[in-house]
Amino acid sequence: MIYALVDGKPTRPTATGQRAACGCCGGAEMISVCGSQVAWHWRHAVGADCDSWAAGKETPWHHDWKMRIGEGDPARIERVMVRDGVTHRADAVATHPDGDIVVEVQHSGLSQVELTQREDFYGRMVWLMDESGFGRSWYLGREHFQVKRKFGRPVILDTVNASNQQVLILLKPSIAPGVMCGERLDGGEWRAAVDRATAPLAPCEWCKRYMAKLQEKAEAQRAIEEAIERRRQESVARAIAASEAASLARAQREAEDRKAAEARARRAAELQHWRSVRLRPGDQAAIEADLRRLDAEAERRGRLVLRHPPSCG
């Protein structure tokens, strides 16, 4: 932390090993660190920082931006904020025509969860980031970036131009998904960037063209998908028609087979019939002779029966 309380007054350290009280967590002992590699700062004498969001070294970049934005006013630097019983220290609070605005000075990369948590906690805020804080992003040209993280608040990107001069780019979430739309502010005009950060973003020509291209691509993709679907439906219909024709032909063939089998059975029965009834002349005479013999035998058996009635037995 840049400031800690000495006799109740926010004070910057002037040498290593000085003692002070934390103005954030209610008086924990602080010890000063004034090395050559880090910005001169206070840290908790025992344990970790009382703000879970405060992590990493106090780099000169971080330190200088907090001092510039807070304009050296201890009340605007590392401002303690409480929301729903949770306490965090905003890096700096800038003055703004519409009222104070939190500026989170971010050097190290954040996860999406951490990023969204901070935006929700601070509400009215703007990010001030360098390249590493901005995370993996892709420069699309004309101050537009394809970003990996979803930002809900504007980002002032601290970067350099081709001649290695400091350049600030004010980036806002664009109408295009995953894209930040930017405005270049040469000469490190952080004041202008903060003032313009809250103004609603009018879709620029680049963003409109980008959206049109996206739409074109989506339409082409949809047309391809529709053509594939149409072809699939046609082939299904063809398969159904083919299978229907095949089953109809099979039924017809089966009916014809059945009819032929019945006709043949009928003819065979006729043949059987005619074979049994069509007699040769000799057969007829033999049958007639047999019948006569059988009749005679029947007559003789009848007489024998009369001559010897069973009662006489």
* Min separation Cβ 28 and Zn ion, Å: 5
In this complex, which beta carbon is closest to Zn ion, that of residue 22 or of residue 155?
A: 22
Contacts with Zn ion by CB under 5 A: the residue count is 9
Q: Which residue has the tokens 């037995």?
A: 313
Q: Is 162 exposed, middle or buried (0-12, 13-18, 19+ CB in 10 A)?
A: exposed
- Counting contacts by CB under 5 A, is residue 206 touching Zn ion? yes
Among 38, 140, 204, 211, binds Zn ion (CB under 5 A): 204
Classify burial at 17, counting beta carbons within 10 Å of its beta carbon; exposed 0-12, middle 13-18, buried 19 or more: exposed
Residue 183: CB partners within 8 Å, gap ≥ 6?
A: 143, 169, 170, 196
- Under the criterion CB under 5 A, does residue 181 sit at the interface with Zn ion? yes
CB of 141 to Zn ion, least distance (A): 11
User: C-beta of 211: minimal distance to Zn ion in Å?
Assistant: 10
Residue 170 binds to Zn ion (criterion: CB under 5 A): no
**Is 20 an interacting residue with respect to Zn ion (CB under 5 A)?**
no
Could you say which residues in the range 36-65 bind Zn ion, by CB under 5 A? Answer: 50
**Beta carbons of 81 and 90 less than 8 angstroms apart:** yes
Q: Is 207 in the site for Zn ion (CB under 5 A)?
A: yes
DSSP 200: P
Which region, judged by CB under 5 A, interacts with Zn ion, from 3-11, 114-122, 203-211, 280-288? Answer: 203-211
Distances (CA, A) of 131 to 15, 16, 148, 182, 301: 32, 31, 13, 15, 136
Q: According to CB under 5 A, which residues from 239 to 278 bind Zn ion?
A: none
Closest C-alpha to 125, from 83, 96, 147: 96
Query: What span, in angstroms and rounded, lies between the C-alpha atoms of 194 and 197?
Result: 5
Minimum separation from the CB atom of position 172 to Zn ion (A): 8
| 3-state SS assignment for residue 271 | helix
Residues written for the chain = 313
Q: In terms of CB distance, is 33 or 181 closer to Zn ion?
A: 181
The two tokens of residue 139 are 């420069």
Q: What is the nearest approach in angstroms of Zn ion to the Cβ of residue 176?
A: 8
Which residue's CB is nearer to Zn ion, number 192 or number 204? 204
**Alpha helices for 39-189 (secondary structure H):** 60-69, 112-122, 131-134
Choose the stretch contacting Zn ion; rule: CB under 5 A; options: 94-102, 104-112, 178-186, 265-273: 178-186
**Pick from 22, 105, 167, 180: which binds Zn ion (CB under 5 A)?**
22
Q: Is 25 in the site for Zn ion (CB under 5 A)?
A: yes
User: Contact residues for Zn ion (CB under 5 A)?
Assistant: 22, 24-25, 28, 50, 181, 204, 206-207
